[in-house]
Structure 1
Amino acid sequence: MRLKEKVCLITGAASGIGAAIAQRFAEEGAWVEIGDRDADRGRETARRIAETGGRVHFSPLDVRNRQSADAWAEDVIHRHGRIDVLVNNAGISAVGELHEVSEELWQDVMAVNVTGVFLVSRAVIPEMMRRRTGSVINMSSCIAEMGLARRAAYAASKGAVLSLTRSMQVDYARYHIRVNALLPGTIMTPFVEGYLKRDYDNPEEALALLKQRQLADDLGRPEDVADAALYLASDESRYVMGSGLVVDGGITAGKPF
């Protein structure tokens, strides 16, 4: 019970990595608060967690909207009296070289992946400051540390999240708040399955190429990232501050040929 009685907020938790983190945190004794724009899938995720004995509550959340972020944080504080862990997981992707990316798509990616982290963190951190404790986990990506073809907008957003994480840590260390980032590689989620089908003429061929990038010779599972998030949320990582924890199957380590 590594998170016993901790109140943990997770954005973008209706499916994929966010849902896996919510499930893992609940298994470790946390009160799990999940937020997502997809209300139907969010409630289904909450139902599945509750069926296994987890303590969970779903709230509709649009991380791009200040009022939505503020209302979510206020509601959690009203019901629990505190916030111990925030996982800024909500994110979207975009495929294309820079000249192919529309201004609208660029703005959408930045609004969710960067502004969403800013707005939700700004709503939650004052409560952590008041209690002088807390752990914030921002979802970056291994792409923040490397170049990858046709990911201009996504790479820019995840690089921004990693830099923001480090600056947040400097600002809030004096309040005993830890701020770290997770840098996953390619994880097989509905998110990845969707863009393979949407953006590639031959999804199976594209999947095979994705697998070749990993030294592990396969894509990761949402549970792989959830285990890393558990470490950063727990007291076991008390001395880990401002870090970017890479969970990428070796993609940033080098190529096997």
Structure 2
Amino acid sequence: MRLQNKVALITGSGSGIGKSTALLFAKEGAKVVVVDLAEESGKQTAAEIVQQGGEAVFIQADVTNAEAVERMVNQALGHFGRIDILFNNAGISGVGAIHELTEELWDRVVNVNMKGVFLPCKYIVPHMMENKSGTIINMSSAIAEIGLMRRAVYAATKGAVLTLTKCMQVDYAPYNIRVNALLPGTILTPFVEKYLKESYSDPEEGLNTIRKRQLGGELGRPEDVANAALFLASDESKFMMGSPMYIDGGCTFGKMA
């Protein structure tokens, strides 16, 4: 029970990595605030936690809307009394080189991937400062460290999240708040499955293409990232501060001969 008596708020936890992390955190003793814009899937995650003997509450919220985020935080505090762990997991992708992107798509990806980290932090960090304790995990990506064709806006936002993580750590270290970032490679989630269907005439061919990015030739699974998030959320990582953690199958620093 590595998160016994902790309260964790996880954005985008209706599916994929967020859902796997919510289920794992609950199994390890955390009380979980499931946050998602999609009501049905968010409620399902919370229900599964309760069915397995854990504690969870679902709160529907748009992480790009300040009023919604402030209300989300107040609801979470009203229900559990505290927030010990914040996992900023919600995010979206955008495909295209700079000259191909519409302003609308650029703004949407920037809004979700950057503002969607800023706002939960803005409203939760003061409570962590008051308690002089807290752990924040920001979802960056291996793409923050590498160039990848036609991923300009996604890469820009994930690089920004990594840099923000480091700056936040400097600001909040005096309050015993740790801030770290996860940098996954390509993980087989509904998010990626949707991308394959939209971007390739043959999704299976697309899957084979992106498999080649990983040294092992396979994509990661949501549970792989959830296990890394658990480590960062627990006291086992107490000496990690402002650090990137790679779960990428070797795609960042490895290259086949």
TM class, shorter-length: over 0.9
Equivalence for 1:66: 66
1:56 Cα offset (Å):
0.9
Deviation of 1:134 (Å): 0.3
Counterpart CA distance in 1 for 2:97 and 2:220 is 25
Q: CA deviation at 1:98?
A: 1.0
CA displacement 1:16-60 (0-9 Å, x = unmatched): 000000000000000000101000111111112211112111110
- Matches for 1:80-229 after TM superposition, within 5 Å: 80-229=80-229
Other-structure match for 1:26? 26
TM-score, scaled to structure 2: 0.99
Residues in 2 aligned to 1:83 and 1:93: alpha-carbon distance in whole angstroms: 28
Structure 2 residue matching 1:59: 3-state secondary structure: strand
The offset of 1:82, in angstroms, is: 1.3
2:251 aligned partner: 251
Using the TM superposition, name which of 76-85 and 57-66 deviates more. 76-85
Identity of aligned residues (%): 56
Question: Could you tell which deviates more after superposition, 50-59 or 132-141?
Answer: 50-59
Cα distance, 1:255 vs structure 2: 1.5
Distance, in Å, in 2 between the alignment partners of 1:49 and 1:194 is 26
Taking the aligned partners of 2:79 and 2:50, their CA distance within structure 1 comes to 18
Aligned to 2:255, what secondary structure does the other structure show?
Answer: coil
Alpha-carbon distance in 1 for matches of 2:73, 2:145: 31
Corresponding position of 2:38 = 38
Identify which range, 220-229 or 76-85, moves more after superposition: 76-85
In 1, Cα distance between the equivalents of 2:59 and 2:78? 14
SS of residue matched to 1:213: coil
Deviations 1:64-111 (A, max 9, x none): 000111111111112222110000000000111111111000000011
For the aligned residues, what is the CA RMSD?
Answer: 0.7
Q: CA deviation at 1:201?
A: 1.9
Give the match's secondary structure for 2:160: helix
Matched, 1:16 2:16: yes
Q: Distance in 2 between matches of 1:132 and 1:63?
A: 25
Q: Which letter maps to 2:53?
A: G
The alignment partner of 1:182 has SS state of strand
Unmatched runs of 5 consecutive residues or more in structure 2 = none
Structure 2 residue 237 is matched with structure 1 residue 237: yes
Q: Secondary structure at the match of 2:212?
A: helix
Q: In structure 1, give the amino acid aligned to 2:232.
A: L
SS state at 2:2 partner: coil
Distance 2:202 2:254 in 1: 26
Q: How many residue pairs get matched?
A: 257
How many Å apart are 1:205 and its aligned residue? 1.1
Give the Cα–Cα distance (whole angstroms) in 2 for the partners of residues 140 and 155 of structure 1. 9
Output the CA distance in 2 between the equivalents of 1:163 and 1:14. Answer: 27
Equivalent residue of 2:232, what SS? helix
Displacement of 1:202 in angstroms is 2.0
Partner of 2:4: 4
Output the CA distance in 1 between the equivalents of 2:37 and 2:166: 27
Counterpart Cα distance in 2 of 1:137 and 1:196 = 27
- Aligned partners of 1:208 and 1:189: how far apart in 2? 15
Given residue 155 of structure 1, which amino acid in structure 2 is its aligned partner? A
Secondary structure at the aligned position of 2:224 is classed as helix
